[in-house]
Amino acid sequence: MHSPSHRLRTPALAALALATTLALGGCSALSNEAGGGSDGDKVSVAAGFYPLQYVAERVGGDRVDVEPVSSPNADPHNAELTVRETASLTAADLVVLLGGFQPAVDDATEQNAGGEVLDAASAVDLLPVEGDHEHEHDGHDHGGDEHGEDDPHFWQDPLRMADLGDAVADSLSEIDPDHADEYADNAAQLRADLEELDEEFRTGLATCERDTVVVSHDAFGYLEDRYGLHFDPVAGLSPDAEPTPSDLQDLQELIREEGVTTVFSERLASRQFTAPLAADLGLETAVLDPLEGLSDETADEDYLSLMRANLAALQEANACR
């Protein structure tokens, strides 16, 4: 488990965090003093973005209150924290983040967090950007890598999500040992659901006419690594990484060669490159959700239902039987 520096860097930050936390009730701070997760209190968890929130909610169950740090309807890559979100993070018994993915969350956690911190990168085996899942069709990387040497989008792999669930159960059990068995049981049920999802992807994508998928940005390397598809992004690891004219020309050639029928966009990112690409070639457009955050359109969905929707979209686009 990773523990940040718990000291506030400036008096102004301290005053801001304290005042806002008190305005929001300050329940978690009292919980820390009395022992988080006691019968009268829930463990407070701040989650960096949606997949981390989903795992914390599933593992914590009724014993936790989970607050997302990223605002809905916004791309979490470039998240800027509001005062309320900073206060939630400051007061949390547990912060779950992915180091390097959201710099603002990393900075606020280092400066302000008073509870425990779980970096998902320490719980799952991240794939290198230059690895087996690298896109090899045209020799281009389709944009710069702002996240270092590792691909952060591990939540596209259900089994890695299950590993995160086990790590969250361990962290919650340290904070709230009286309910450790409950957290372990919840993590086991989550793993069972995710293993079922993994099997659905394995069988559903086993026999397809095509295996090349053109997507908005490079968020699907873990699907490629796990299930054998080949994802070619218009942008890079970040949705706003602009492709070069050479990248777009190479993609057009690839689409013609591979018989690609669909260009996938996403809900939380601009379609300024995917829509013209599809229109120029007379292709279908569809949504493949990278599940980095929920939108108004998906507010009633969850990780499992969105992943199953992605599976159905891939099967239709690639004529899978």
Tokens of 87: 């206060």
What domains, with CATH codes, occur in the chain?
11-196 (3.40.50.1980), 207-317 (3.40.50.1980)
Could you tell me if 301 and 270 are in contact, meaning their C-beta atoms sit under 8 angstroms apart? no
Distances 304 to 170, 281, 314 between C-alpha atoms, Å: 23, 33, 15
Taking only the tens place, the pLDDT of each residue in 218-227 is 899 999 999 9
- What integer pLDDT is reported at residue 148 of this predicted model? 53
Which uninterrupted H or E stretch holds 49? none
Taking only the tens place, the pLDDT of each residue in 33-72 is 434 554 458 999 999 999 999 999 999 999 999 999 987 7
Q: From CA 51, how far away is CA 292, in angstroms rounded?
A: 7
pTM: 0.82
Taking only the tens place, the pLDDT of each residue in 155-201 is 999 999 999 999 999 999 999 999 999 999 999 999 999 999 999 99
Cα atoms in the Cβ-side hemisphere of radius 13 Å centred on 39 = 0
